[in-house]
Amino acid sequence: MRVYIETYGCALAQFDSQVMEAVLRSRGHVVTSDIEDSDVVIVNTCAVRLDTEQRIAKRLVEIQRLYPGKRLVVAGCLAAARPGLIARIAPGASLVSPQNSHKIWEAVESTGRVVLLGGVRDTGWMPLPRIERAVATIMIQEGCLGDCSFCITKKARRTLRSYPPDLVVDRVKVLVGRGAREIRLTGQDTAAYGVDLPGRPTLVDLLWSILDKVEGDYRIRVGMMTPEMALQLIDDLIEAYRDERVYKFFHIPVQSGSDKVLRIMNRRYTVSDYTAMAESIRRAYPDSMLATDIIVGHPGEGEEDFQATLELVEKLEFDRVHVAQYTLRPHTRSAAMPQLPDSVKKERSRRLMKLVEQVGLKRHSRYKGRTVRALVAGRAYRRGSAVARLDNYYPVIIPDRPGLAGSWVLVYVEDATFYDLRGRILEAQGEHGVMRPSTSIAAPER
C-alpha cells in the first residue's frame, strides 16, 4: 500500500506518526508525502481544543469528498476520546487509538473497517525517531496522574506508561551518533516519568543516565511538566540542569493565578507552591526560560481571579506563555459548569496577551546588542531563515545557509520581539571545529 499520513497536535502525536510510519515501512508499505499518490489516508488527530476538533472534522469531510476511493483511517486522540463523533463524520473510517499506533498495519491491510481502541501502550519497542535539521524527539512517557476538570486528553491517553531508561538512552546514543544535536524528551507529563516502572526511576534519574552514558556535543530539552509532579523533583532537577548539555528550559503550565480557579480545575497545587518553585528556578538560573500555559475564561473565573493571573504573569515574568481561551470539551466536568460568555473570554485574552507581549519583550530586549553563542537546530517560521538556540532555549532567528544545521554560531543580536531574538552570524563552526558555548550564558547588561 501507498500510505499518506496527516498529523495534528502535539509532539506526542508527531511521535506516534513516526511509530506508524516505521511499522508500515517494516511491512513493505510505502509512506508518501502526496495524498494524491496514496491508497490509504491516515489522519492522526488531536482532541485538546474545540477549534482543532472542528478543523479536523472539516478535513475528514473534505478527504471523503475529494478522494472517495481511498481507504481512510482516523488515528490519535480524537479517535480515542470521540469515537462516536468520528463514526458520524466518517462512518467507513477505521479507528486507531494512540496506544495502538504500532498496530496501524491492521487497519491499513484490512479490507474492512477496523476499530482498535483501548489497551495500553507497548513500551518495549521504540522506532528510531527522525532527525530534522539536527533535532530529534523521543517520547519518554504517556499518561498523566492528574484529573483536571477541563481535560479531554486523559480519555485518550489515561494510563501512565514510561519507556524503560535503557531504551531511551540507547535511542539518544544512536541519534547523537547520527548527527542529532538537540534531543527533545517529550511526554504528557515528563515529571511523571518512571512512576509505573520497576524501581520507580525518575525523570532526574533518566537525565543523569543519558548524560553519563551518551558522549557528544548535544543538548537535551525536557518537555512539559505538571506543577504537582515537578514540585516533587525540582531541587534534583535544578542540580541535573547544571550540566551544560541540558537547556535551561522549564515548561510548567500554571493555568491560572487564582487558587479558587485552580481548585475548580482540580489542579493539585497552589499559586504559592508554583511561585516558590519558579523563584527557586530563577535563583539557580536567572536567565532560564520559564514557559507556561494559561486558560482564560474557565468556568468560575471572575474578574478578581483574572486580575490575579495578570499579577502572577507580571511577577514571575514568564518568557513564553501559551494563552488559550477555554473551550468546552464533552465528557469533562468543566463542560457541565456554568459557562462564561465568549465576549468575556475574548476580552480577557486580549488583555493577557498584551501583558505577555510586554513581559516577553522586556525579557528578550536584555540581549539586544549582545554577542551570543547558539546551536542551530530546528526550523524557523520565516523563509530563508534558521533558528539557533541559546543555552536557555531562547530562539535567535538568523539568515539560513546550506550546512548550518547542527553548527554552533556566534551571533550578534540586532533586535528582539516578545517571541524571539533577531541576529546576524559573526562566526559558525561545525563538525571539524566545534564552537562550544560556555556552561552558562553571561548575564545580559541591564
Instruction: Please indicate, yes or no, if residue 128 is contained in any of the structural domains.
Output: no
Domains identified in the chain, total number: 3
Asked if 392 and 282 count as a contact pair (C-beta separation under 8 A), the reply is: no
Tens digits of residue pLDDT in 314-360: 999 999 999 999 999 999 999 999 999 999 999 999 999 999 999 99
Query: How far is it between the farthest Cα atoms of the chain?
Result: 66
Between 432 and 9, whose confidence is greater?
Answer: 9
Q: Of all helices (H) and strands (E), which one includes residue 74? A: strand 71-76
The CATH number of whichever domain residue 108 belongs to comes to 3.40.50.12160
CA distance 90 to 117: 16
- Asked if pLDDT for residue 133 goes beyond 90, the answer is yes
Verify that 142 and 32 share a domain, yes or no. no
Q: With 0.85 as the threshold, say if the pTM is over it.
A: yes
Q: How many CB atoms lie within 10 A of CB 402?
A: 5
Q: Output the DSSP codes for 197-214.
A: STT---HHHHHHHHHHH-
Residues 165, 254 within the same domain: yes
Amino acid, single-letter form, for residue 117: L
How confident is the model over 390-426, as pLDDT tens digits?
Answer: 999 999 999 998 889 999 999 999 999 999 999 999 9
What are residue 432's phi and psi, to 5 degrees?
Answer: -95, 10
Instruction: Please check whether residue 144 lies inside any domain of the structure.
Output: yes
What are the start-end ranges of the E strands in 109-148?
Answer: 115-116, 135-142
Average per-residue pLDDT for the chain: 94
Is 158 in the same domain as 302?
yes
Return the CATH number at 254: 3.80.30.20
> What backbone torsions phi and psi does residue 365 show, to the nearest 5 degrees?
-65, -15
The answer to the question of residue 282 being in a domain is yes
Residue 160 has pLDDT above 60, yes or no: yes
For residues 403 and 301, state if they share a domain: no
* DSSP for 219-242, written as a single string: EEEE----HHHHHHHHHHHHHHTT
Q: Report d(CA 215, CA 135) in Å as an integer.
A: 17
- Considering the domain architecture, whether residues 394 and 262 belong to the same structural domain is answered as no
Residue 79 inside a domain? The answer is: yes
The pLDDT tens digits for 24-56 are 999 999 999 999 999 999 999 999 999 999 999
Tens digits of residue pLDDT in 282-301 = 999 999 999 999 999 999 99
With respect to residue 122, please indicate whether it lies within any of the assigned structural domains: no
**Residue-level pLDDT at 443:** 34
Same domain, 340 and 230: yes
Output the pLDDT for position 379.
Answer: 80
**Cell digits for 434?**
566545534
C-alpha cell at 108: 491499513
Residues 338 and 375 in one domain: no
How far is 109 from 100, CA to CA, in rounded Å?
15
Q: Are residues 147 and 258 in the same domain?
A: yes
Give the domain-ending residue among 365, 386, 401: 365
Do 37 and 106 lie in one domain? The reply is yes
DSSP bridge partners of 43: 6, 74
Q: What is the mean pLDDT of residues 53-80?
A: 96
DSSP 255-281: B-S-HHHHHHHT-SS-HHHHHHHHHHH
Q: Contact 411/372 with Cβ under 8 angstroms?
A: yes
> Is the pLDDT assigned to residue 444 strictly greater than 50?
no
CATH of the domain at 392: 2.40.50.140
Q: Which of 57, 82, 116 lies at the terminal end of a domain, its last residue?
A: 116
What pLDDT, on a 0 to 100 scale, did the predictor assign at position 382? Answer: 78
| Residue 13 shares a structural domain with residue 77 | yes
Q: Are residues 184 and 212 in the same domain?
A: yes
pLDDT-derived band at 170, boundaries 50, 70, 90: very high
Residue 439 lies in a domain: no
| Helix H or strand E segment including 353 | helix 342-365
Starting at the earlier edge strand, list the strands of the sheet with 249-251.
Answer: 249-251, 289-296, 320-325
Average pLDDT over residues 78-88: 95
433: left (phi over 0), alpha (psi -120 to 50) or beta: beta
CA 129 – CA 148 distance, rounded (Å):
30
- Whole-number Cα distances in Å, 185 to 364, 389, 440: 25, 16, 21
Mean pLDDT, residues 136-162: 94
- DSSP secondary structure letter of residue 339: P
Confidence (pLDDT) at 425: 95
Residue 394 CA to residue 287 CA, distance in Å, equals: 10
23 by DSSP, 3-state: which?
Answer: helix
Task: Please say if the pLDDT value at position 442 is more than 50.
Answer: no
> Cα separations (Å) of 322 from 352, 358, 416?
10, 14, 19
Same-domain check for residues 157 and 261: yes
| Band (199; pLDDT cuts 50, 70, 90) | very high
The mean per-residue pLDDT over the stretch 85-102 comes to 96
Q: Determine the pLDDT at residue 158.
A: 85
Residue 15 CA to residue 29 CA, distance in Å, equals 19
Range of the domain at 378: 371-429
Where residue 436 falls among pLDDT bands split at 50, 70, 90?
very low
Question: Percent of the chain at pLDDT above 70?
Answer: 96
Question: Is residue 446 very low, low, confident or very high in pLDDT (cuts 50, 70, 90)?
Answer: very low
Q: Is residue 157 part of a domain?
A: yes
State the pLDDT confidence band at 430, using cuts at 50, 70 and 90: low
